[in-house]
Amino acid sequence: MFLKNKIQLVLVILIFTVISSKAQTSPISNVKKSNKQEHPSLILTKVGVEKIKAQLGTVPLFDETLAKVKAEVDTEISNGIEVPIPKDFSGGYTHERHKKNFLILQKAGVLYQILDDETYAKYVKDMLLEYARIYPTLPVHPQTRSYARGKLFWQCLNDSNWLVYVSQAYDCVYNYLSKKEREHLEKDLFKPFANFISVGNPQFFNRVHNHSTWGNVAVGMIALVMEDDKLLETALYGLKTDNIDPNAKDNDGGFIKKKGQKVGFLANLEEPFSPDGYYTEGPYYQRYAMYPFLVFAEALQNVKPELKIFEYKKGVLLKSINTLLNLTDADGHFFPLNDGQKGMSYYSRELVSAVDIGYYFGGNKTDLLSIAKDQGEVLLDDTGLSVALGIRDGLETPFIKKSIDLSDGKNGDEGGVAILRANSTKRELSLVMKYSAQGLSHGHYDKLSFSLYEGGNEVIQDYGMTRFVNIQQKGGGNYLKENTTWAKQTIAHNTINQDETSHFGGEFETGSLHHSEKYVFDVSNPNLQIISAKEENAYPGTKMHRTMVLIKEASFENPYLLDIIKINAEHEHQYDLPYYYLGQLMTTNFDYIIPETLKPLGTKNGYQHLWNEAEGKSETSNAKVSWFNKQRFYTLTSLVSNEDDLILVRTGANDPDFNLRRDPGFIIRKKNNKDTYFISLIESHGHYDPVSEIATNAFSNILNLNMIFSNDEYLVISIETKNEQKSLFLFSIKDNLKTSKHQIKTQDKTYEWVGAYQLIKNY
């Protein structure tokens, strides 16, 4: 360990020497140097501050936010300054204290500017001096878990958070400080700090990853304050040299850097964002990265407008804000694709920034104002002021989330995520189907997986991650081992598992090479919305094709979801398809046996975490499972053979630290199949009021679900309701052209249609 660190140190010194000595041709220094910079200039600007002061007391949301922030900072000032020697993981005292410090410093800086009260400037100065006092002799953080340990925090990531915020505070009090004080702070704190998280940790800084985005932005922000163009260039384009081993991985199991990969802020903007503004790690991390992306973009726009950062990659940054807002349920919670902690929402401070900056720099789109109004606070800067003014003046329009298909990959050609939204009489049903690329180190092995929401409630859940962020009792608030052994595994998701193994063998390297392919996405008809995609690499030799259709028919209380999976394999396999419903099981229409003792469903690949609570077979061709959750009734009807195993499971096996929730699931298992189908239909069909004790529409409306025709090219599914209405869904498996004409002849009848699919009602 000691030896390793020593080698690392030598390496760092070497790199540093190389960089320092090398003559640079800086793209930044080519740009005509701006005049001597005013302060503040990054987020707050001199002009902006004057505008804000002129409006104080007349813009309710701004004034309220200001009062709240002032109260918060005043409390902290009265508590006194605490800059403890770093010691703890996230959730622990020193971690939380330093985190609070940077958040308060940024706010205090803003208050100084807006309120012209030197109390705040002095507080910032005193605390910065305290940091400058301890920083020069701080060793790396004593917690050793990270691949890139910080000094104030256990990871460079959090150190970077600190610098992103504190740069703003420094900018705000810049003119309050004497030249000597500034020199001291820059020499003893900011420059070594920026060096440590960049040159000192190339494996952290020179990546395409949300970590590096923070690192790049931290360096870039302080560079802008200090007017250090060379440092700014490092932020934008990364370190010239890093000697990173192309096989090296971080502690989440992600690759550090591919050979020849571009790095730095612009590369981090270029690569993980698709042209649609989808961030490949998923919405939880997109949210996390949005703050540095946007706050740095704002700063660049203010200080280096000639870079036209908001126009970069066809305006992807502004697009991404809209994308992120669309990746939420009816309550504003992000869909927990890949690693994502449930409960995170557009009420987070990162999204307050995003919405305000998006409004200000993105052409004042009035639907953003309604989100800002819900958020109930604004940034205390030009952007926040403009939002608060818009709200004051009643300009907001509803933010309507539409059905949307978001491409993944730098060029938008690596699959994607589709969201189908269908209004019901009660609440919106939202289907999220994932057919994206791996999603870097936070990606899950869940090709063609889905989750289903009704309003803000999960109907079929995505488990999310196994981590309790910043809750120290649970592994220091870090990723738990069950994130790897359960949450990332395929069986933890509502998609096909072959032979009880995960997609790509659960290998990150292989997964990172592939993505699914869209087959059809069409939401032009609100009564029939469809997403269909294929995955041919997750299990070599096996092709999977999933088609999900949200159908609104008059005889159903709510739209229903038709779910069709076609599998073609070279060899015989076992296929498991789980549906992780939430709530209490009401009934099944098949018999099952409950075991006397509960055993895990398997031994590895996530199966070891599932208790097998019951197992049965269906005597009819339709297996039905009904459940009840949050006063609503649901039924899954699935076309099965009497050979299929129908298994009721629950998470929590082999979970010694009780890290997993105890959630139920229903697995349909087809054994010894080469080519097969999984065809199911999910209804939300009634509700119960525990106060009136009235149950309405508590039963499924489906009499029979059947596949009345199938061959290599076509399939026809019939959906018969209890009042004997029948609909037919016709689907072309191989030809997705809108204009193609199709014909099927059965014994009874000939069907003809145009395009990949057709629904015939009242057949």
The residues of the shown chain that bind its own copies, judged by CB under 8 A, are: 91, 96, 341-345, 347-349, 468-474, 477, 584-587, 594, 596-600, 611, 613-614, 626, 628, 648, 650, 652, 654-658, 661-662, 664, 688, 690-695, 698-699
User: Which residue's CB is nearer to its own copies, number 537 or number 612?
Assistant: 612
Please choose, from the candidates 238, 301, 323, 316, the residue with its C-alpha nearest in 3D space to the C-alpha of residue 270: 316
Asked if residues 110 and 380 have their Cβ atoms less than 8 Å apart, the reply is: yes
Count of all residues that appear for the chain in the document: 763
Tell me which residue has tokens 């003046």: 393
Quote the least distance from Cβ 448 to its own copies, whole Å: 28
- Report how far residue 280's alpha carbon sits from residue 272's, in angstroms, rounded to the nearest whole number: 5
Quote the least distance from Cβ 142 to its own copies, whole Å: 20
Burial of 392 (0-12, 13-18, 19+ CB in 10 A): middle
φ, ψ of residue 503 to 5 degrees: the values are: -55, 140
> Measured between alpha carbons, how far is residue 646 from residues 497, 503, 592, 758 in Å?
15, 22, 8, 30
Quote the least distance from Cβ 621 to its own copies, whole Å: 21
Marked catalytic residue, from 98, 442, 493, 545: 442
User: Which residue's CB is nearer to its own copies, number 103 or number 224?
Assistant: 103
Tell me which residue has tokens 């800067």: 381
Dihedral sign, CA of 124, 126, 127, 131?
A: positive
Please choose, from the candidates 563, 627, 622, the residue with its C-alpha nearest in 3D space to the C-alpha of residue 589: 622
User: Which residue's CB is nearer to its own copies, number 390 or number 475?
Assistant: 475
User: Which residue's CB is nearer to its own copies, number 104 or number 316?
Assistant: 104
Quote the least distance from Cβ 552 to its own copies, whole Å: 23
Quote the least distance from Cβ 158 to its own copies, whole Å: 12
- Report how far residue 463's alpha carbon sits from residue 234's, in angstroms, rounded to the nearest whole number: 39
Please choose, from the candidates 703, 449, 433, 696, the residue with its C-alpha nearest in 3D space to the C-alpha of residue 558: 696
User: Which residue's CB is nearer to its own copies, number 89 or number 709?
Assistant: 89
Asked if residues 12 and 199 have their Cβ atoms less than 8 Å apart, the reply is: yes
Please choose, from the candidates 728, 727, 721, 729, the residue with its C-alpha nearest in 3D space to the C-alpha of residue 756: 729
Quote the least distance from Cβ 476 to its own copies, whole Å: 11
Quote the least distance from Cβ 466 to its own copies, whole Å: 11
Both tokens assigned to 196:
């440590």
Please choose, from the candidates 325, 269, 270, the residue with its C-alpha nearest in 3D space to the C-alpha of residue 292: 269
Please choose, from the candidates 412, 469, 167, the residue with its C-alpha nearest in 3D space to the C-alpha of residue 292: 167
User: Which residue's CB is nearer to its own copies, number 576 or number 655?
Assistant: 655
DSSP state of 565: E
DSSP state of 334: B
- Report how far residue 324's alpha carbon sits from residue 358's, in angstroms, rounded to the nearest whole number: 12
Marked catalytic residue, from 285, 519, 581, 751: 285
Quote the least distance from Cβ 553 to its own copies, whole Å: 22
User: Which residue's CB is nearer to its own copies, number 84 or number 362?
Assistant: 84
Quote the least distance from Cβ 281 to its own copies, whole Å: 17
| Helix/strand/coil (H/E/C) assignment for every residue in 686-738 | EEEECCCCEEECCCCCEEEEEEEEECCCEEEEEEEECCCCEEEEEEECCCCCC
- Report how far residue 8's alpha carbon sits from residue 322's, in angstroms, rounded to the nearest whole number: 42
Active site residue 442: yes
User: Which residue's CB is nearer to its own copies, number 343 or number 526?
Assistant: 343
Amino acid at 573: H
Active site residue 571: no
User: Which residue's CB is nearer to its own copies, number 48 or number 686?
Assistant: 686
Catalytic residue annotation:
285, 442
